[in-house]
Structure 1
Amino acid sequence: MSCGPTAHRRTLTSGLWATLSEEGFRLFFPVAALYAAFYPLLWILAFGLGVPLAETVPPSLWHAHEMIVGAFGAALIGFITTAAPEWTDTEPPRGAWLWRLLALWSVGRGVGFLGWEDIGLIGALADALWMVGLVGWLVHLSLQRRTDRLLPFVFWLALLAICTAVGRFGFHVDSFELASKGIYLAGFAFLGLLGLALSRITVPVTNLVLDPSEETSPFRPHPGRLHLAPGLVFVAMMGEAAGLSDAVSGFLWCAAGAAFMDRVAEGFIGREALRAEILMLAGSSALAGGGLILFGAARLGAFWSEVSGLHVAFMGGLGVGTYAVFAIAGLLHTDQPLGLSIRTRFGANCLVAAVALRVAPDFGVDLPGPMYAVASLLWTAGFLLRLVAYWPAISGRGNLGDDVSA
C-alpha cells in the first residue's frame, strides 16, 4: 500500500525530529543560531530598544541577559552535551533528555524575550534548572568514568548558575545595580567557559589542519596555557565581586585580556595560519582579549566606556567563538572534512563587521546611516548564513550545501 502525501510528510517530520534529538549539537546549535540571529534584530528594529512587557527592569538588562543566557546558553547546552560524552567515551544524551532541556531553556526565553516580569521567577527557575542539570550530569559522568577532565566545566557552569541567579534576584528586588553586576559576571563566566572550550578545541583542530591523515600530532602547546585565560578571568571576577577599586580591577581585567591574546599566538603555525578554522578560533580569543583590555583600560581612565569593551568581549569574543564551534563541530560531528564553505566564511566576516560597527561610535568614528540597525542586520546575516550551510548535514538530509574551500 502506497503512502499518500500527508503520510509521507508525517514520516519526514518524525524522522527530522528523531535526527535532531540524536545529539545535543543537532538540536541546540540551530536553536542558538536562530535566537542569536533574530533576537538582536527584533530588539532594535521591532521593539525600538525596548521590551514589550517590561515595567521596572531596564530593557538593556533584559537584552544583555537574553544574549548571554539565551543565545549563548543554547550553544553551551549543545556543546556540553556533545563534547562531554566524547571526552569520557560515554553515550550522549538523546531523545527526551534533550527535549526536556530545550523545554526549560524555552520557558526562560518566553519570559526574557518579552521582559515578562510578572512571571520572572518562573523564567529564572527554568534557567537555573537547566544549568544545575548540566552540572549534576557532568558530576555523574566524572564519577562514573573516574576522571577530573570535566571538573573545570563543572566549576564554571556552577559559577555561571550563581551569577545568573544573582542577576535575576536583582530583577526581582528591583536592585538594578545588583542585576547589572550579576549579568556582567555571568558574561565573564561565559568567557571562562570560552577559554576552556578553545583550549580543548584548538589542539585537535590545529593538528588536523597540519596533518589531515591524523598520523602525527605536530602541534603541542605549552600545558601552562591550558587554563591561563579562564584562571585570570576568575581572579578578575573575584576582584569584581569583592568591590576592589577601579584601578586594581582595571589591571586585573587587562591581565585576563592579555591571557586571551596569548592564546592567539597558538594560531601562528606557518602558512596554515590563514586557514579559516584557525583564523576563527584565534579571532575569538583576540576579540575576547581585546574586549577585556578595553574594559580594563576604561576602568583606568580611557575615554571610551566600559560597555564598549564588554560589547567587544561578549558580542565579539563569545559571538565569534560560538560561531566557530558551530562551524567546526558541525563538520566533524557529521563526518565532514575540514574546510569551511564560502557562506560560512562570509558569515564570520559579517559578525566581525557587526561588532566593529556596533562599537565604532564609542571610539569617535562617525559613519553615516543607522549603525546599530546595520550592525544587527550583519549579525543576523552571519548566523543565518551558517545555519543555511549547516542545515543539510545537521538534519541528516545531505552534506554541506555549497562549495567548500579552505
Structure 2
Amino acid sequence: MSRFPVLFTGGYRVFFLAAGLFAVLAMLVWEGYLAIHAAGGMVNDLPFAPAPHLWHAHEMIFGYGSAAIAGFLLTAAPNWTNTRTAPVPFFAIASALWLAGRVAIWWSGSLPAPVVALADLAFLPVVGGSVAALLLKRFKPRQFIIVAVIGLIWVGNLLVHLEWMGWTDDSAAAGLRVGLLSIVALITILGGRVTPAFTRNAMIRTGREDGLPATPMPLAVVSIAGALLVPLSLIFGLEPVAAIAALLAGGAGLARLALWRGGWTVRQPILWTLHLSYGLNALGLLLFGAALLGYGSEIAALHVLGIGGVGGMTMSVMSRAALGHSGRALVAPTPVALAYAVIPAATVLRFVASAFPELYFPGILISGGLWIFAFTLYVAALWPVFWGERQRPTPADRQEART
C-alpha cells in the first residue's frame, strides 16, 4: 500500500515538509541569480514577472512563511479546542492551493496577472477559515487575534498583487513589509506563549519548583500590541507610528526574554533555539524601528527579522511540533540542533552584507548558503517523521503537544 496518503494526515507533515523543501529550492534560485551577477553576468528571460529581488522577498514571506504558519496552526488548533484534526482531503486540497500559488508566481511572466493573484491569494483564507471554525467550537475571544493576524498577512499579499496587476502604483513594497511584519507579530504572540511555557515544563520535570520563567502581563501587552501596530501602521503609510511601535515591541520583547531563564536551557537545543529566535525577533523590531527613524539600514533590519526571527522561530517550532505530534521524544536530532545554530550565523552574515556594501556579495552568498544548509539538515533529519507512522507519545510529550 502506498505511503503517500500518510503525508496528508496532519498539518505538521505536509506543510512542514513543504516549508522545508521550498526554503531550500527558493533560496537556490536566488543564490544562483546572485552568483551570476557577482561574477559579472546577466540573467534574462526569467519565467516570473516581478524583478528577481521582489520574487525572492515575496516567496520567502508568502511562500515559505504561509506554509510554516499553516502547518503550525492546523496542527495546534485541534489541540487547543480538543477536536479532531482535519481529514485527508482537506490537507490535500489546502496543500494543492499553496502549491498552485507557488507555480503561478513562478510562471507569472506568461500568465495574466489577475490569474496569478487569484491563485496566490486563495490559500490563506482557507487556512484562516479552518482555524476560525475550530476556535468557534470553544470560543475564546483572545484566540481570534491569531485569525486577525492571518488576515493582515493576506492583506500584505493583496497589496503586492494590486501593484503587479497595475491597479496601484506603489503598494508592493508596503505589502511585502506588511506581510513580513505581520508574521513577526504572530511570532511575538505565539513565541511569547510557547517559549516560557516549554521552558517551565522542562524545569518542572527536573524537580525544580522555584526560579521558573516569569511572564508579566504588562510586558506581554506592550510587546504584542506594539508588534500588531507595526503592520497596521504600514498599511496606512504611518511610518513614524510604526517606528515607535516597533521600538516598544522590541524593547518589551527583550525584557520578557530576560525573565524566561534562557541560561538554564543551554544544554537543550530544542529549548534554547526558541529563546534565541525570539530574541532575534525582538532585536529585529528594534533595528527596524531605528531604521524607520533614519538610524541604520532597513534592509539589514528586515533580514534580521526574516532570517533570525521568522526563519529561526519557524524552524524551532516546526521541528518541535513535528517530533511531539508524531509521538517522538522532544529531543532535537543532532542535524536539527546544528541547523538551529546555523540560522543565527546566517542572520549575522546577512546583516553584515547590508551594513557594509563592500561585503555585499560575499556576505549574502555565504548567508544564503548557510540557510540552504540548515534547511537541508532539517528536511533530511525529519523526513522519517513526515512520512512515518505516529508513535506512542509519553505523558509528558502529550501534555506539551496540547500547549
Q: TM-score, normalised by structure 1?
A: 0.86
Per the alignment, do residues 227 and 123 of structure 1 end up closer, same or farther by CA in structure 2, a change over 3 Å counting?
farther
Q: Which residue of 1 aligns with 2:199?
A: 206
**Distance apart, 1:228 and its partner CA:** 3.8
Q: Which residue of 2 aligns with 1:37?
A: 24
Per the alignment, do residues 255 and 174 of structure 1 end up closer, same or farther by CA in structure 2, a change over 3 Å counting?
same
CA distance in 2: counterparts of 1:164 and 1:239, whole angstroms:
16
Code of the aligned partner of 1:65:
H
Q: TM-score, normalised by structure 2?
A: 0.86
> Per-residue CA shift, 1:50-90, capped at 9, x if unaligned?
681244x3222221110000011111111111000010000
Structure 2 counterpart of 1:341, from 333, 347, 359 = 333
8 Å contact 2:246–2:288 — kept in the other structure?
yes
**Distance apart, 1:214 and its partner CA:** 9.5
Q: Which residue of 2 aligns with 1:378?
A: 370
CA distance in 1: counterparts of 2:264 and 2:196, whole angstroms:
17
Q: Which residue of 2 aligns with 1:362?
A: 354
Greater shift after overlay, 141-150 or 19-28? Answer: 141-150
Q: Which runs of 5+ in 1 are unaligned?
A: 1-10, 400-406
CA RMSD of aligned residues (A): 2.7
Q: Which structure ranks higher in relative contact order (CA pairs < 8 Å, sequence separation ≥ 6)?
A: 2
**Distance apart, 1:117 and its partner CA:** 5.9
CA distance in 2: counterparts of 1:188 and 1:66, whole angstroms:
15
Per the alignment, do residues 278 and 225 of structure 1 end up closer, same or farther by CA in structure 2, a change over 3 Å counting?
farther
Code of the aligned partner of 2:368:
S
Greater shift after overlay, 326-335 or 99-108? Answer: 326-335
Code of the aligned partner of 1:20:
L
Per the alignment, do residues 392 and 372 of structure 1 end up closer, same or farther by CA in structure 2, a change over 3 Å counting?
same
Q: Which residue of 2 aligns with 1:288?
A: 281
> Per-residue CA shift, 1:284-305, capped at 9, x if unaligned?
1221121221122222222x32
> Per-residue CA shift, 1:245-269, capped at 9, x if unaligned?
55x5433322222233233224325
* Alignment map for 1:120-159 (pairs within 5 Å): 120-159=113-152
Per the alignment, do residues 293 and 204 of structure 1 end up closer, same or farther by CA in structure 2, a change over 3 Å counting?
closer
Q: Which runs of 5+ in 2 are unaligned?
A: 38-42, 392-403
Per the alignment, do residues 36 and 373 of structure 1 end up closer, same or farther by CA in structure 2, a change over 3 Å counting?
same
Kindly indicate whether residue 226 of structure 2 is the aligned counterpart of residue 239 of structure 1.
Answer: no
* Alignment map for 1:76-155 (pairs within 5 Å): 76-116=69-109, 118-155=111-148
**Distance apart, 1:166 and its partner CA:** 1.4
* Alignment map for 1:246-325 (pairs within 5 Å): 246=240, 248-268=241-261, 271-302=264-295, 304-325=296-317
Q: How many residues align?
A: 383
The 3-state SS of whatever aligns with 2:85 is coil
Matched residues, percent identical? 27
> Per-residue CA shift, 1:90-144, capped at 9, x if unaligned?
0111311001111110111012234436333233223322211222222222322
8 Å contact 1:331–1:338 — kept in the other structure?
yes
Per the alignment, do residues 140 and 371 of structure 1 end up closer, same or farther by CA in structure 2, a change over 3 Å counting?
same
**Distance apart, 1:394 and its partner CA:** 2.6
